[in-house]
Structure 1
Amino acid sequence: MDSRVNKGASAAQATARHIEDLILEGSLRSGDPLLPEREMALRLDVSRPTLRRGLKILEDKGLIETDAGGTRRIAPLATSLTDPLIELMSTGGRVIDDYLELRGTLEGMAAGLAATRASDIDRQSLTRCVERIEAAHEKADARDEAEADVDLHLAIYEASHNIVLLQIMRALSGMLREGVFHNREKLYSRNEVRDVLRLQHRAIYDAVMARDPVAAARAAEDHMRYTRRALNEIAAAEARLDISLRRIDGGNIAQRP
C-alpha cells in the first residue's frame, strides 16, 4: 500500500480511512505505537492539522488511544479479556472443545489459502517461526515453543491474505496466547506431545512452502484434531487425579484418623 494518503475525500477523513485500512489489513496491530506527529505527517504527506483531525476521528471511534506518556497507540482490537461473555465462555469445558473444533476448520482454510497466496515476505516470516520452534524444541523450553507455535499460526493467517479471517483469528490468537481457553504449556510439558506438535508444524510449513493447498489444509486440520484430542486426554487425566486426591482426605471436610 502507498504510504501517502489518497486525498480524493476530505483530507482528514482520507487520513483516517488510510489508517483504518492499515489496521484492517493487519499492518497496524493492537498496541502498536504511532510515530510522533511531525514524522507521521511527513510519511503520510499531509499537514499536521489535517493529521490531528484524522486521528481525532479514529480516537472517537475507539481505534486509537493515547497512553500516559502522550504516545498514540492502536487501541486493543477484538481481544478484550474483560468481556463478560468471553470470561463466561472460557470457564466451560464444552466451549473449549467447540473452540478447538472451530479452529480446526479455520486453520485448514488459512493454510490452504497461504499455500497459494503467500508472498516472499510471508514465506520468510513462516521460516523464522519454524526456526524458533526448532530452537525452542531443542532447548526443551515449553514457554518459548508455545509462543512460537502461536506466532506460526498467526503468520499463516497473515499469509492467507483474507482480511476477515486474519482479524478473527488474530483475536482468537490473542485469547489463546493469554490462556483464556486453555493453557498451551500443558501441551508442551509432555515430551511425546511436543515431538508430535513439532512434526505437525513442520508438515504445515512444508506444504505451504511447496504451494500445495490440499496438503497444507490437510496438515493443519490433522494438527488441530490431534491438539483437541491431546487436550481432552490431559483434562481427563487431571480430573482423575483430582478425584484420587480428594478420596485421600475425604474432600478435606471429613474427619479421618
Structure 2
Amino acid sequence: MADCDIRDGSPGIQPERAAAAVARLIEAMILEGSLRPGDALLAERELAARLNVSRPTLRDGLKLLEEKGLLTPAGRGLQIAPLGMQAIGDPLLALLADHGELADDCLEFRDIVESEAAALAARRASDTDLAHIRACLSRIDAAHDAGDPALEAEVDAALHLAIYEASHNLVLLHIMRALSVSLRNDVVQNRNRLFTRPDTREAMRAQHHRIGAAILARDPAAAQAAAHDHLDWLRHTTREIRDAEARRQVAERRRQGPDLTNGKGGAT
C-alpha cells in the first residue's frame, strides 16, 4: 500500500472525519481492485504510519469497515473480506460446475465476456497493466518450456484475470474475480482434456500471445477477435474430444453387453 496523507492532527480536521477518510480510502482501494479479497492489512503501527494518522483514528476507521463487512479478523490483524464469494458460491453454481455437459455453455459465456474485456483492455490499459500482461506472457512461455501442466494452467488463468483488470470495468473485474476459482478449475479441466491431442499446448500458447500482442498494440478489434477465436477454438475442440469419448464409451458398453446376459435371446 502506498503512503497516503490523511493527517488527522492537522488544524480543523476532527478525528471522526479522519477516521471516515481512512475508511473511504480503503473502500476505494477495494473497489478499484488494488486491495483484493484475502489480502492482509499491515500491522496497526505500520498502517497508521503509512496513512499518516494516529492509531486510535486508524482503529476507528477500520472499525467502520468491519461494521460494513469489508474487513474480517485474520490472526492478530485484519484482512479484506471474501467479497462476492458467498453469492458466487451459490449451490446452483456448484451444481452447474459438476455437470460436464455444461462446459460448452461455460465457454460460450467466457467468449461473450472475455472478447469484450480484451477490447476494453486494448483501449484502457495503463502502462502498469501492459507490463503485467507482458509478465504473464513470459510466465506462460516459461511454464510451457518447463513442461509443467499445473503451472501452465495457473499462468493461463492469471493472464485472463490480468485482462479483466486492464479492462478497467470494475463490475466486470469483481464478478470475474469472484468467479476466479471456477475459472481456474475450468482452465485446468479444459487443458487436461485438450492435452490428449498433440500440438494443443503450442496452439494455446500461440493464441494467448495473439491476444496479448493485440492488447499491447492497443488494437481493440484485433484483441476482441483474438479472444473470440481462442474461446471458439476451445469450445469446438473440447466438444470434439467429448463427443469422441462418448462414442468410445458406447462402443465399450456394446462390447461388454454380452458378458451381462445369460446368452439366451430376448422375447420375440
What's the TM-score, normalizing by structure 2? 0.83
Distance 2:258 2:116 in 1: 46
208-217 vs 112-121, greater mean Cα deviation: 112-121
Q: Is the 8 A contact 2:3 2:51 kept in 1?
A: no
Q: CA deviation at 1:152?
A: 0.7
1:46 is the counterpart of 2:53 = yes
Number of the residue aligned with 1:157: 164
Identity of aligned residues (%): 51
Q: Is the 8 A contact 1:111 1:220 kept in 2?
A: yes
Unaligned runs of 5+ in 1: none
The amino acid across from 2:84 in the alignment is A
- Mapping for residues 63-212 of structure 1, pairs under 5 Å: 63-67=70-74, 69-80=75-86, 82-93=89-100, 95-179=102-186, 182-188=189-195, 190-212=197-219
Q: Is the 8 A contact 2:156 2:187 kept in 1?
A: no
Distance 2:117 2:244 in 1: 32
Q: Is the 8 A contact 1:96 1:181 kept in 2?
A: no
Q: CA deviation at 1:247?
A: 4.2
Count of residue correspondences: 255
What's the TM-score, normalizing by structure 1? 0.86
How much is the aligned-residue C-alpha RMSD, in angstroms? 2.8
1:15-37 deviation digits (Å, cap 9, x = unpaired)? 22211111111111121111001
What SS is found at the alignment partner of 1:211? coil
Number of the residue aligned with 1:236: 243
Unaligned runs of 5+ in 2: 264-268
Q: Is the 8 A contact 1:130 1:201 kept in 2?
A: yes
Distance 2:187 2:122 in 1: 29
The amino acid across from 2:4 in the alignment is S
Q: Is the 8 A contact 2:190 2:238 kept in 1?
A: no
1:39-96 deviation digits (Å, cap 9, x = unpaired)? 11111222222222222222233222112x3231112222347421221221334643
Q: Is the 8 A contact 1:142 1:188 kept in 2?
A: no
Distance 2:157 2:133 in 1: 12
Number of the residue aligned with 2:234: 227
What SS is found at the alignment partner of 1:3? coil
What SS is found at the alignment partner of 1:73? strand
Change (3 A) 1:84 1:180: farther
